[in-house]
Amino acid sequence: MRTPTGLERFGVVAPTIVREPARDDQDIPICAECGYPVAKSKGPHRVEKPQLVDDNLADALEYLVTYGWRCDRHAADVVMPSHASGPDAPGMIDGWIGVQLRFADEHVRYVPIPEREVADVE
Protein backbone atom coordinates (compact mmCIF):
# COMPACT_ATOMS: atom_id res chain seq x y z
CA MET A 1 0.00 0.00 0.00
CA ARG A 2 1.10 3.54 -0.61
CA THR A 3 1.36 6.23 2.02
CA PRO A 4 -0.84 9.30 1.77
CA THR A 5 0.85 12.15 -0.03
CA GLY A 6 0.18 15.84 -0.48
CA LEU A 7 -3.31 17.08 0.25
CA GLU A 8 -4.55 13.60 1.14
CA ARG A 9 -2.92 14.00 4.55
CA PHE A 10 -5.39 16.80 5.21
CA GLY A 11 -8.41 14.75 4.21
CA VAL A 12 -8.61 16.12 0.68
CA VAL A 13 -8.84 13.30 -1.83
CA ALA A 14 -7.41 13.86 -5.28
CA PRO A 15 -9.70 12.98 -8.17
CA THR A 16 -8.76 9.64 -9.68
CA ILE A 17 -7.30 9.79 -13.18
CA VAL A 18 -9.35 7.49 -15.41
CA ARG A 19 -7.63 6.14 -18.51
CA GLU A 20 -8.32 3.50 -21.13
CA PRO A 21 -6.57 0.19 -20.39
CA ALA A 22 -3.30 -0.28 -22.25
CA ARG A 23 -1.29 -3.40 -23.05
CA ASP A 24 2.32 -4.00 -23.98
CA ASP A 25 3.46 -6.03 -26.99
CA GLN A 26 3.08 -9.23 -24.95
CA ASP A 27 -0.55 -8.37 -24.17
CA ILE A 28 0.21 -7.66 -20.52
CA PRO A 29 -1.93 -4.88 -19.00
CA ILE A 30 0.19 -1.78 -18.35
CA CYS A 31 -0.46 1.64 -16.87
CA ALA A 32 -1.62 4.07 -19.57
CA GLU A 33 0.38 6.85 -17.89
CA CYS A 34 3.73 5.25 -17.10
CA GLY A 35 3.78 1.81 -18.72
CA TYR A 36 4.22 -0.07 -15.43
CA PRO A 37 2.76 -3.64 -15.52
CA VAL A 38 -0.55 -3.63 -13.62
CA ALA A 39 -1.89 -7.17 -14.28
CA LYS A 40 -1.89 -8.02 -10.56
CA SER A 41 -4.17 -5.08 -9.75
CA LYS A 42 -7.16 -6.53 -11.63
CA GLY A 43 -10.25 -6.17 -9.47
CA PRO A 44 -12.61 -3.53 -8.05
CA HIS A 45 -11.15 -0.03 -7.60
CA ARG A 46 -12.44 3.27 -6.30
CA VAL A 47 -12.69 6.27 -8.59
CA GLU A 48 -12.73 9.47 -6.52
CA LYS A 49 -14.78 12.40 -7.83
CA PRO A 50 -15.89 10.58 -11.01
CA GLN A 51 -16.85 12.67 -14.05
CA LEU A 52 -20.25 11.05 -14.54
CA VAL A 53 -22.36 12.05 -17.52
CA ASP A 54 -25.69 11.42 -15.76
CA ASP A 55 -26.44 14.44 -13.53
CA ASN A 56 -28.41 12.42 -10.98
CA LEU A 57 -25.60 9.93 -10.61
CA ALA A 58 -23.04 12.73 -10.46
CA ASP A 59 -24.94 14.36 -7.59
CA ALA A 60 -25.35 11.09 -5.73
CA LEU A 61 -21.88 9.59 -6.03
CA GLU A 62 -18.75 11.17 -4.56
CA TYR A 63 -16.87 8.10 -5.71
CA LEU A 64 -17.70 4.96 -7.57
CA VAL A 65 -16.34 1.45 -7.66
CA THR A 66 -15.37 0.10 -11.04
CA TYR A 67 -13.67 -3.07 -12.21
CA GLY A 68 -10.32 -2.98 -13.91
CA TRP A 69 -6.69 -2.10 -13.22
CA ARG A 70 -4.95 0.50 -11.08
CA CYS A 71 -1.48 2.05 -10.93
CA ASP A 72 -0.43 3.52 -7.60
CA ARG A 73 2.85 5.04 -8.76
CA HIS A 74 1.35 8.51 -9.18
CA ALA A 75 0.32 11.40 -6.94
CA ALA A 76 -3.31 10.55 -7.81
CA ASP A 77 -4.38 6.98 -8.53
CA VAL A 78 -4.67 6.00 -12.16
CA VAL A 79 -7.58 3.60 -12.74
CA MET A 80 -8.18 1.83 -16.04
CA PRO A 81 -11.70 0.35 -16.06
CA SER A 82 -12.38 -2.76 -18.07
CA HIS A 83 -14.65 -2.17 -21.05
CA ALA A 84 -18.43 -2.19 -20.64
CA SER A 85 -20.15 -2.02 -24.00
CA GLY A 86 -23.42 -0.54 -22.76
CA PRO A 87 -25.81 0.04 -19.84
CA ASP A 88 -26.39 -3.69 -19.36
CA ALA A 89 -22.64 -4.35 -19.37
CA PRO A 90 -22.98 -7.60 -21.34
CA GLY A 91 -20.28 -10.06 -20.44
CA MET A 92 -19.89 -8.62 -16.96
CA ILE A 93 -20.56 -10.49 -13.76
CA ASP A 94 -24.19 -10.48 -12.60
CA GLY A 95 -25.00 -7.43 -10.54
CA TRP A 96 -22.80 -5.05 -12.52
CA ILE A 97 -24.09 -2.42 -14.92
CA GLY A 98 -22.47 0.09 -17.25
CA VAL A 99 -22.51 3.84 -16.60
CA GLN A 100 -21.12 6.61 -18.77
CA LEU A 101 -17.97 8.18 -17.40
CA ARG A 102 -15.79 10.93 -18.86
CA PHE A 103 -12.16 9.79 -19.02
CA ALA A 104 -9.02 11.91 -18.67
CA ASP A 105 -8.88 12.23 -22.46
CA GLU A 106 -12.41 13.80 -22.41
CA HIS A 107 -13.95 10.79 -24.17
CA VAL A 108 -17.07 9.27 -22.60
CA ARG A 109 -17.09 5.49 -22.20
CA TYR A 110 -19.21 2.94 -20.35
CA VAL A 111 -17.52 1.51 -17.28
CA PRO A 112 -18.77 -1.36 -15.08
CA ILE A 113 -20.07 -0.52 -11.59
CA PRO A 114 -21.98 -2.67 -9.08
CA GLU A 115 -25.73 -2.24 -9.56
CA ARG A 116 -26.28 -1.84 -5.81
CA GLU A 117 -24.18 1.34 -5.85
CA VAL A 118 -26.81 3.08 -7.94
CA ALA A 119 -29.91 1.27 -6.63
CA ASP A 120 -31.03 4.31 -4.61
CA VAL A 121 -30.44 6.84 -7.38
CA GLU A 122 -33.55 7.99 -9.21
Comparing CB distances to Zn ion, the nearer of 82 and 100 is 82
Q: Residues interacting with Zn ion, by CB under 5 A?
A: 31, 33-34, 36, 71, 73
Task: Please answer whether residues 83 and 64 qualify as being in contact, where contact means their C-beta atoms are separated by less than 8 angstroms.
Answer: no
CB 30 → Zn ion: shortest distance, Å? Answer: 8
Comparing CB distances to Zn ion, the nearer of 34 and 75 is 34
**Phi, psi at 6, each rounded to 5°:** 55, -135
CB 24 → Zn ion: shortest distance, Å? Answer: 13
The dihedral of CA 82, 88, 91, 95: what is its sign?
positive
Q: Give the pairing of strands 78-81 and 17-18.
A: parallel
CB 32 → Zn ion: shortest distance, Å? Answer: 8
Comparing CB distances to Zn ion, the nearer of 23 and 73 is 73
Short-list 19, 18, 69, CA closest to 47:
18
